[in-house]
Amino acid sequence: MSSDRLQRYLECIAACNACVVSCQHCASLCLQEPDVKMMTRCIALDFDCAEMCSVSVALMAGGSELADAMCGLCARACRMCAEECGKHSHDHCQQCAEACRVCAEACERVAV
Amino acid sequence: MSSDRLQRYLECIAACNACVVSCQHCASLCLQEPDVKMMTRCIALDFDCAEMCSVSVALMAGGSELADAMCGLCARACRMCAEECGKHSHDHCQQCAEACRVCAEACERVAV
Amino acid sequence: MSSDRLQRYLECIAACNACVVSCQHCASLCLQEPDVKMMTRCIALDFDCAEMCSVSVALMAGGSELADAMCGLCARACRMCAEECGKHSHDHCQQCAEACRVCAEACERVAV
Amino acid sequence: MSSDRLQRYLECIAACNACVVSCQHCASLCLQEPDVKMMTRCIALDFDCAEMCSVSVALMAGGSELADAMCGLCARACRMCAEECGKHSHDHCQQCAEACRVCAEACERVAV
């Protein structure tokens, strides 16, 4: 792809990268929480969301024909993870929920 | 997820795994072809399709809530790659096109 | 790479694919166990191991120059996961431990 | 893992993320070059290196026990890709070579 097309994706790539870190970090801290039983859906969605964001970055940076569609699906993963993480008051969950919301919005702008 | 739910995915997981190998192998042989200039879209779609199949397997095996939606997108990647590979007479392209078609059908059954 | 070189990897690719499914499945069932607090290292290593196996497959099938080194690291992940899963009596843990051992051996044969 | 441990990885995570984008972008532009036949090893190593960096980020952010070892292997991928890209005068290759060198150094600091 041209560098112009990459330009269009840079904000979304940055949001996805931040979301990967927040989700992986949140999952690893959730696993250490005393109330881990409450956090299991959070952990599962953290991993899904991190995976989706990671693939979205690869496809956007590589100018894949499927990048926009992948971002559409990634936005769904981010919305689900944001909603679940948002239910928990742990700092890592609240920060992850925020990173997921920012990423969902960036992905939705790309996916339209 | 329950083992029953995994059962539902086993055929699709096998098709995705076979497709990853065919796509990665096709890409690596395309890069060695004398007419590599003709094969560039094939190479790009091979990588996209392998990536999608790989993620689909992870989500299906992990019982992700997003597994079915991911398989829907994976089916699209497989259809595109099958169509492009099918244009080339090299053995690795023809074999890859067939693996992609089988995988697309399996993913479509899961995604509905 | 040549099809001959792919041939050399086929057993290891199959073992890695089986290990991805076992690890992802084990992680998802661990998250549902009443004693999930006991399973947190198992869950973490399951994800690591699945990730390593998945990348190893991609590199082997693509004939990467780094495939053998990646399999060496994957073998380490499999050994760690096998040891941890082996401590738990749940069926999914015992099955995962076995899949990890088989995969570690296959990866070690490739990595030498 | 603790947030302190994440802190230790932040520079390396940023370098890996930048390297993923440079490598995927370089590969996609290499595939469009008139002299694509000269670029085939560059393309193959770009994909390997992007994959390694992506997994390294996931493991570092998740506080994996294997993060440091993965970074050691990632450094090797980055060195190989930097050397190959550095042979080509295209802007995307030169920029990718530089991103790979920076990432190799960051990974080596983590891996020791």
Q: Give the DSSP per-residue string, chain C.
A: --HHHHHHHHHHHHHHHHHHHHHHHHHHHHTTSTTGGGGHHHHHHHHHHHHHHHHHHHHHHTT-TTHHHHHHHHHHHHHHHHHHHHT--SHHHHHHHHHHHHHHHHHHHHH-
Among candidates D28, D32, D40 on the partner chain, residue whose Cβ is nearest the Cβ of B36: D40
Question: Dihedral sign, CA of D61, D92, D41, A8?
Answer: positive
Stretch C89-103: mean pLDDT = 97
On whether the CB atoms of residues B26 and B95 are closer than 8 A, the answer is yes
Owner of token pair 């999914």:
C92
- State the pLDDT confidence band at C1, using cuts at 50, 70 and 90: low
- Is pLDDT at B1 greater than 60 in this prediction? no
Q: Which of D36, D44, D47 is closest, CB to CB, to B40?
A: D36
In angstroms and rounded to an integer, the radius of gyration of the C-alpha atoms of chain A is: 14
Q: List, in sequence order, the alpha helices (H) in B31-90.
A: 40-61, 67-86
DSSP D51-100: HHHHHHHHHHHTT-TTHHHHHHHHHHHHHHHHHHHHT--SHHHHHHHHHH
- Using pLDDT thresholds of 50, 70 and 90, give the confidence band for residue A3: confident
CATH of the domain at D95: 1.20.1270.360
Q: Say yes or no to pLDDT of D3 above 80.
A: no
Nearest to A80 among B45, B65, B76 (CB): B65
Rounded to whole angstroms, what are the CA distances from A63 to A109, B69, C38, D21, D31? 16, 22, 43, 10, 11
Residues of D whose CB is below 8 A from B43: 31, 43
* Residue C89 neighbours by CB under 8 Å, 6+ apart: none
Closest CA–CA distance from residue A85 to any residue of chain B (Å): 15
By CB atoms closer than 10 A (0-12, 13-18, 19+), residue C35 is exposed
Q: How far is CA D62 from CA A13, A25, B72, B98, D58, in A?
A: 19, 5, 28, 38, 6
Q: What is the CA radius of gyration of chain B?
A: 14
Residue A31: closest C-alpha in chain C: C40
Q: What is the mean pLDDT of residues B11-35?
A: 97
Flag whether pLDDT at C57 surpasses 60.
yes
Contact B85, B101 (CB under 8 A): no
Which one of D30, D31, D35, D38 makes the best mutation probe of the B interface by having the most chain B beta carbons within 10 Å? D31
Averaged pLDDT for residues A69-82? 98
pLDDT at B2: 66
pLDDT in tens, D51-70: 999 999 999 999 999 999 99
Q: What whole-number distance in Å separates Cα of residue B40 and Cα of residue D28?
A: 9
Averaged pLDDT, C23-50: 96
**B66 touches A: beta carbon within 8 Å:** yes
pLDDT at B59: 97
Q: Which chain D residue has its CA at the smallest distance from C79's CA? A: D66
| A29 contacts B29 by C-beta, under 8 angstroms | no
Domain span at residue B63? Answer: 3-111
Using CA atoms, how far apart are residues C56 and C111, in angstroms rounded to an integer? 11
The pLDDT tens digits for D27-52 are: 999 999 999 999 999 999 999 999 99
Residues 13-42 on B with a CB inside 8 Å of D are: 28, 31-32, 36-37, 40
What mean pLDDT do residues A98-106 have? Answer: 98
Three-state secondary structure call for residue B57: helix
Residue B53 has pLDDT above 80, yes or no: yes
Structure tokens at D33: 């070059």
User: Which chain A positions have a beta carbon within 8 Å of B45's beta carbon?
Assistant: 65
Tell which residue, A46, C20, C51, has the closest CA to residue B10: C20
Give the integer Cα–Cα distance in Å for A109 and B58.
27
Distance spanning both ends of chain C, measured CA to CA: 19
pLDDT on residue D4:
77
Non-local CB neighbours of B53 within 8 Å, separated by 6+ positions: B16, B17, B19, B20, B23, B74, B77, B78, B103
How far is A66 from chain B, CA to nearest CA, in Å? 7
Residue A65: CA count within 13 A, CB half-sphere: 17
Contacts within 8 Å (CB) and 24+ apart, D101-106 = D102/D15, D102/D18, D102/D19, D103/D12, D103/D15, D103/D16, D103/D18, D103/D19, D103/D53, D103/D74, D103/D75, D103/D78, D104/D75, D104/D78, D104/D79, D105/D15, D106/D11, D106/D12, D106/D14, D106/D15, D106/D16
| Mean pLDDT across chain C | 96
ipTM confidence score: 0.94
- Which chain C residues are closer than 8 Å to A44 by Cβ? 28, 31
Say whether residue A70 is in contact with chain B using an 8 A CB cutoff: yes
Report the C-alpha gap between C86 and A85 in whole angstroms.
31
Q: In terms of CA atoms, which chain D residue is nearest residue B33?
A: D37
Number of compact structural domains in chain D: 1
Is the pLDDT score of C11 beyond 60? Answer: yes
CB–CB of B28 and D44 under 8 A? yes
Chain B residue nearest residue C48, CA to CA: B58
C2 with C60: CB under 8 angstroms? no
Q: Cβ D40–B47 below 8 Å, yes or no?
A: no
Instruction: Name the residue among C9, C11, C15, C14 with its Cα closest to residue C103.
Output: C15
Mean pLDDT of chain A: 96
Residue A6 has pLDDT above 80, yes or no: yes
What residues of chain B lie within 8 A of the CB of A46, using their CB? none
Q: Which residue in the block uniquely carries the two structure tokens 């972008």? A: D25
SS3 percent helix, strand, coil of chain B, rounded to 5, is 85, 0, 15
Contact C58 B54 (CB under 8 A): yes
Which residues on B lie below 8 Å from D28 (Cβ)?
44
Q: Residues B57-67: pLDDT tens digits?
A: 999 999 999 99
* Mean pLDDT for all residues in chain B: 96
pLDDT of the residue at C112: 80
User: Is the confidence at residue A26, as pLDDT, over 80?
Assistant: yes
